[in-house]
C-alpha cells in the first residue's frame, strides 16, 4: 500500500469533511480536502490521491459527474462514494459507473470508513503492481522477439549466442567450483544451465530442459535466461527475495511462460546454496533424472518429483533441503543421459550415474566415464552440471 498518497475528501459540507478527516488521521492516514467537485478534480489533475471519498450531492457539479470524469482520467484511483439517506439509488448508479465502494452518512461505525479506505488503497496498489508487471513482461517480450528474429536469420549465429549465454566453465563462486558441459543433438540445444552469485552469501544454479530440441527449443532457453535475470535484478535493485526461494521462483517462471504464450513445457531444477553453512534448498519442476549428491562416502538421489513449467494443471512443484558439505559434489544431468548407449533401463542408468559421481572428482573424468565427446551422435541433448564445495570452506 502507498501510505504517502493522501485520501482526498470531496464534500461541500465542512462538518462532514472534518469528521472523516479525524477518523482517518487517527489511523495514520494523510488527508486533504476539497470543498467542491471542481476543486477536487483540479487537485487530482495535479497530483495522484490514494483514495477519493466523494459526496454524491453537491451544488454546481454533482458527484456523479465528478465520478464519471475521475473514471476516465484516473481509472486506477479508487473512488468511494458517500451517500446519505434517500440517495441509495444514486449510490447504486455510482457503483455502476465505476465507483469502487460506498459508505453512508452519518457513519454507523467509524471502522466501516477505515476499512473501506484500506480496501481501496490495497486494491489500487495491486492494480499498480499488476500494471508494472505487465509492462515489464511486454518489454521483456519485445526484447526477446527482437533477439529471436535475429536468431532465426542465422542458426549458426544462434548456436554461438547460446554458448555465449552459458556461464564460464570451471567458475569458482566462493567455496563452490562449477563445471558444465552441453552436448546438443542438433546444431542448437533445448537444454541449458547457469550458475551465479546472488549476493555475498548465496549462490544459485539451475538446469533446464525444454521439450524437444533444435532451434525452437533453443529459443526458449534464451527466454529463460532473460526471465531468471529479471529475478536476479529484482533482488539487487529492490530487495525482492524471490530468487532466493526455489519454490517461489518456479511459481514466478511458470506464470511468466504462460503470460508469454510459450508453446513448450520446460523441466527445471533450481537450487540455492548458502556459502556459510552449506545449506542447499532446491525446487524441481519435473526434472529427471533427479540430481545426485555425494558427501563423503554416501551418494544419494535428491528425489523431488514435480510438475514441469508451463504445463496445464495445478500439481505442485517438488523440492527439499539438504547440505552440501565440504568436499561434497552435486551432479545435475538432463534426461538425454538416460538414452546413452549401451541401452540400459532407467534404473540401471541412474545407478551408474550415482556410481560415476562417487568416483569422479571433476567433469572431465565424469564425461569420460559416460563415453561422451564433442562429436558424439546423440538422440537427445545432454547437459551436465557439476557443483563441488571446497574441502574446508572458509565461513
For 162-193, how does the pLDDT look when each residue is reduced to its tens digit (9 = 90+)?
778 899 999 999 999 999 999 888 767 789 99
Place of cell 487530482: 44
For 15-28, the pLDDT digits (tens) are: 888 999 999 999 88
Please tell me the predicted confidence (pLDDT) of residue 86.
Answer: 55
Q: What is the pLDDT of residue 2?
A: 47
Q: Is the pLDDT of residue 195 over 90?
A: yes
d(CA 383, CA 372): 11
What pLDDT sits at residue 319? Answer: 96
Q: What is the pTM of this model?
A: 0.62
How far apart CA 138 and CA 136 sit, in angstroms, is: 5
Contact criterion met (CB below 8 Å) for 259 and 136: no
pLDDT of res. 92 = 81
Among 158-167, 194-203, 278-287, 356-365, the minimum mean pLDDT is found in: 158-167
Residue 54 and residue 34: Cα distance in Å, rounded? Answer: 10
| CA–CA separation, 114 and 108 (whole Å) | 12
Enumerate the domain spans of the chain. Answer: 7-129, 154-389
* Residue 379: Cβ-neighbour burial (10 angstroms; 0-12, 13-18, 19+): exposed
Give the Cα separation of 191 and 382 in Å (integer).
7
Half-sphere exposure of 256 (CA within 13 A, CB side): 26
Percentage of the chain lying above the pLDDT 70 cut: 92
Residue 96 burial (CB count, 10 A): 8
Q: If you write DSSP's letter for every residue of 258-300 in order, what string do you get?
A: HHTT--S-EEEEEEEEETTT-EEEEEEES-SSPPEEEETTEEE
Between residues 61 and 322, the one the model is more confident about: 322
Architecture of the domain made up of 154-389 = 4-Layer Sandwich (3.60)
Q: Which listed CATH number (3.40.250.10, 3.40.120.10, 3.40.50.2300, 3.30.300.350) goes with 7-129?
A: 3.40.50.2300
Q: Does the pLDDT at position 153 exceed 70?
A: no
Amino acid at each position: 500500500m502507498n501510505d504517502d498518497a493522501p485520501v482526498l475528501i470531496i464534500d461541500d459540507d465542512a462538518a462532514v469533511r472534518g469528521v472523516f478527516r479525524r477518523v482517518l488521521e487517527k489511523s495514520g492516514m494523510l488527508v486533504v480536502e476539497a470543498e467542491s467537485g471542481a476543486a477536487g478534480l483540479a487537485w487530482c489533475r495535479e497530483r495522484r490521491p490514494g483514495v477519493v471519498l466523494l459526496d454524491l450531492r453537491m451544488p454546481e457539479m454533482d458527484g456523479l459527474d465528478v465520478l464519471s470524469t475521475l473514471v476516465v482520467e484516473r481509472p486506477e484511483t479508487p473512488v468511494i462514494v458517500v451517500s446519505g439517506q434517500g440517495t441509495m439509488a444514486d449510490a447504486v448508479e455510482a457503483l455502476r459507473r465505476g465507483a469502487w465502494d460506498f459508505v453512508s452518512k452519518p457513519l454507523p461505525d467509524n471502522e466501516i470508513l477505515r476499512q473501506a479506505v484500506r480496501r481501496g488503497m490495497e486494491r489500487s496498489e495491486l492494480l499498480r503492481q499488476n500494471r508494472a508487471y505487465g509492462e515489464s513482461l511486454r518489454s521483456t517480450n519485445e526484447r526477446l522477439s527482437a533477439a529471436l528474429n535475429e536468431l532465426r536469420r542465422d542458426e549458426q549465429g544462434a548456436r554461438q549466442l547460446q554458448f555465449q549465454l552459458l556461464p564460464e566453465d570451471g567458475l569458482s563462486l566462493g567455496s563452490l567450483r562449477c563445471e558444465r558441459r552441453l552436448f546438443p543433438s542438433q546444431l542448437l540445444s533445448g537444454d541449458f544451465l547457469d550458475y551465479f552469485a546472488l549476493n555475498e552469501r548465496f549462490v544459485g544454479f539451475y538446469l533446464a530442459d525444454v521439450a524437444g530440441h533444435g532451434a525452437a527449443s533453443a529459443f526458449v532457453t534464451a527466454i529463460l535466461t532473460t526471465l531468471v535475470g529479471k529475478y536476479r535484478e529484482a533482488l539487487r535493485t529492490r530487495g525482492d527475495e524471490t530468487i532466493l526461494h526455489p519454490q517461489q521462483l518456479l511459481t514466478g517462471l511458470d506464470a511468466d511462460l504462460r503470460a508469454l504464450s510459450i508453446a513448450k513445457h520446460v523441466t527445471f531444477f533450481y537450487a540455492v546454496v548458502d556459502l556459510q553453512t552449506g545449506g542447499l534448498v532446491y525446487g524441481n519442476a519435473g526434472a529427471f533424472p533427479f540430481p545426485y549428491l555425494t558427501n563423503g562416502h554416501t551418494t544419494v538421489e535428491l528425489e523431488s518429483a514435480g510438475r514441469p513449467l508451463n504445463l496445464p494443471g495445478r500439481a505442485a512443484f517438488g523440492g527439499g533441503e539438504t547440505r552440501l558439505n565440504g568436499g561434497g559434489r552435486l551432479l545435475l544431468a538432463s534426461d538425454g543421459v538416460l538414452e546413452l548407449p549401451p541401452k540400459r533401463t532407467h534404473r540401471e542408468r541412474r545407478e551408474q550415474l550415482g556410481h560415476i559421481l562417487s568416483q569422479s572428482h571433476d567433469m572431465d573424468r565424469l564425461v569420460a566415464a559416460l563415453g561422451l565427446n564433442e562429436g558424439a551422435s546423440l538422440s537427445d541433448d545432454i547437459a551436465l552440471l557439476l557443483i563441488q564445495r571446497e574441502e574446508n570452506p572458509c565461513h
